[in-house]
Structure 1
Amino acid sequence: MKKIINPWVGLDGYMCFACSPANPSGLHMEFYEDGDDIVAYWKPNEYMQGWLKTLHGGIQSTLMDEIGGWIIIRKLQTTGVTSRLEAKFIKSISTDEPLLTIRGRIKDRKRNAVFLEAEIYNSQDKLCARADMVYFVVSKERATEEFHFCGCKTEDE
């Protein structure tokens, strides 16, 4: 497993709620490449609850949506936007969980539409949520011009 370098760290104004280390209210997600999968490990906090000690479904959706974005930037070396996200919440996630695993991959691609799937597993490796997503990807030129994207590497590259 290889840690992915965040290509936007240091970019003025970069405050992504999910992945910016500079956002004081953010999730501070970090990502790893594991074969065809992109993986993140993340610990919930009590202020992210929906019901008592239960991780809010919107936060779960954000975790899966963000892994989708990082699949695109690492595997396709471009950027894109979420076109569709269909989440299924299978097992509630406690905000006391010591560590969640969020994992995703590409399932198919048709022109600029990339079909992805993602899952969230609790610390007992039980499937808690899953999502099917469609991302609309842009050309590498547009990714550079509009999204300030200049490639995504792992620490060993």
Structure 2
Amino acid sequence: MEKEETLRIDNYCFVCGKENPKGLKAKFISSNGKAKAEMILYKEYQGYSGIIHGGIIAALLDEACAYAGISLGYYTVTAEIKIRYRKTLKVGEKIIIEAFAEQIKSKLIQAKAQIKDSKDTIIAEAEGKLIIKEKIEKS
């Protein structure tokens, strides 16, 4: 039987990696099952002219859920994510991304995330199920 590979962080994640020249470089702050980031997305990430691509929004929601799980002390991978888009996100608009982990069942974390604009209007929201891969060892 093959042993599962340990998850590694190398700062090249598309969403949060500081060293990925084509990444979003989102800076999440997380603790106690909550995660938050603020940012502005530019034309490089648009779909239709002047509108941020829905896949980029999905990636941000997924990452926020993962950070909420990480703040509980676990490395996770996404098993499922359900996204509801409520409003288009314009290029250059400031957004706030927030997530919280709702509960843990055996090897599963349930999380919710949302992206709001500066007027507190919800752009998109997500519900995610994250599989716990390993406990984060404190150094």
Shorter-chain TM-score category? 0.7 to 0.9
In structure 2, how many angstroms separate the alpha carbons of the residues matched to 1:15 and 1:33? 19
The match for 1:83 is 79
> Higher helix share goes to which structure?
1
Residues 48-80 of structure 1: CA deviation (Å, up to 9, x unaligned): 111111110000000000111111111x21201
> Higher strand share goes to which structure?
2
Task: Count residues with an aligned counterpart.
Answer: 132
* C-alpha RMSD over aligned residues: 1.9
Q: Identity over the aligned pairs, expressed in percent?
A: 25
The match for 2:25 is 28
Cα 1:31/1:25, change in 2 over 3 Å: same
The match for 1:68 is 65
The match for 2:131 is 136
Q: Which amino acid aligns with 1:93?
A: L
Residues 80-112 of structure 1: CA deviation (Å, up to 9, x unaligned): 100001000001110121x21000001222111
Secondary structure in 2 matching 1:79: strand
- The answer as to whether partners of 1:67 and 1:118 remain within 8 angstroms in 2 is yes
- Deviation >3 Å, runs of 4+: 33-36, 149-152
In structure 2, how many angstroms separate the alpha carbons of the residues matched to 1:38 and 1:108? 15
Cα 1:35/1:69, change in 2 over 3 Å: closer
Q: Which amino acid aligns with 1:105?
A: F
1:113-152 residue pairs with structure 2 within 5 A? 113-140=108-135, 150-151=137-138
TM superposition score normalised by structure 1: 0.77
**Contiguous gaps of at least 5 residues in structure 1:** 1-6, 141-148, 153-157
